[in-house]
Structure 1
């Protein structure tokens, strides 16, 4: 996947209306295989993910929908608006998988970019911008109060489960090599297999 990024100038970041116009235009005009995100003041444009990336997302999605203690809804590549970071009005992030309890019904009538309320887990499988997944997005999800962030780090061949968000970061981190099971706490309550990541 090709990734391009550019840092906004501080004056640009203060103009929230300008940023919203860029994302509205991109939603209408950008080719389907491009993703546009705003992560801590940096516009990140990335291409379509490769098959191995999508295979990991599919494996996690299948396990969550089949094995969770509570019934879950999932959305692939759902745009989330998260609290301010890096001097910008709102960050625009797109997890590879967004998960919420069915009872919360967070995806019903949701716009292209939705607030993260009710989301209990997000997943990223690294590709062209591994540093962004490890750092910038982690801070975005923590600021949003999303309880769990699962990072499938393909370059390091490890699964990292971040939990207990507080003050713009996660206070707990569990790192396991691919092949080891990751114990997902409630409302999931099962051991996620990473054997075929």
Structure 2
């Protein structure tokens, strides 16, 4: 490969400018840059939002020093990617003083809730786990409304998580250290199509 073909399809700085323009012009569309590829994330529906509320309440009750942030993160090697997880569990002031795209240092868990769109399989089940593992985020929680299951990815090594726990909705699942929260996933059954 030549140096030109090794260049990402879109540089982070170029992406950030495009994302700013789109955010002003197209309400509800959220852009991400994963593996050098521009991705559009659909606006969340009401059930998606309710799942985030449910999770936020559990996190606050279990770990009041933490907050489930809606924050864009710099992800992947050399921070060349930009992801906007549905939630980033970190200390309440973890992103103070940072811009729209913050360093992921201090993020204990990223959360994604699947959307009912054609890109969710590639985005949430393949690209995001790899990006979050490469960044060293200890836990990735995937709430999969299509499969009615929760997947907890943990122990990042290189570009993958080496420990997975997959449970159907209605089962308790633990978010392992450094999070240490147990989720009773029974309520998730109410927020799927």
TM-score by length of 1: 0.83
The alpha-carbon distance between structure 1 residues 15 and 142, as it changes in their structure 2 partners (threshold 3 A), is: closer
Alignment of 1:1-197 (within 5 A): 13=9, 15-27=11-23, 29-68=24-63, 71-76=65-70, 78-84=71-77, 90-102=80-92, 105-127=93-115, 128=117, 129-131=119-121, 132-197=123-188
Number of aligned positions between the proteins: 181
For structure 2, the 5+ residue unaligned runs are 189-193
Look up the match of 1:4: none
User: Which string of whole-angstrom CA distances, capped at 9 and with x for unpartnered residues, describes residues 21-67 of structure 1?
Assistant: 3234334x333311011111221113311111111111111101112
What's the counterpart of residue 191 of structure 2? none
Shift of 1:12: 5.9
SS at match of 1:108: coil
In the superposition, relative to structure 1, how do residues 11 and 101 fare at CA in structure 2: closer, same or farther (>3 Å)? closer
Contact 2:155 2:161 in 1 (8 A): yes
**Partner SS state of residue 196, structure 1:** helix
Distance in 1 separating the partners of 2:100 and 2:11: 21
3-state SS in 2 of match to 1:44:
strand
Give the direction of change, closer, same or farther, for the CA distance of 1:177–1:134 in structure 2 (3 Å limit). Answer: same
The root-mean-square deviation of aligned C-alpha atoms, in Å, is 2.2
Mapped partners of 1:153, 1:107: distance in 2: 27
Give the Cα separation in 2 of the matches to 1:185 and 1:34: 32
| Structure ranking higher on relative contact order (CA contacts 8 Å, 6+ apart) | 1
Bigger fraction of residues in helix = 2
Question: What TM-score, normalized to structure 2?
Answer: 0.84
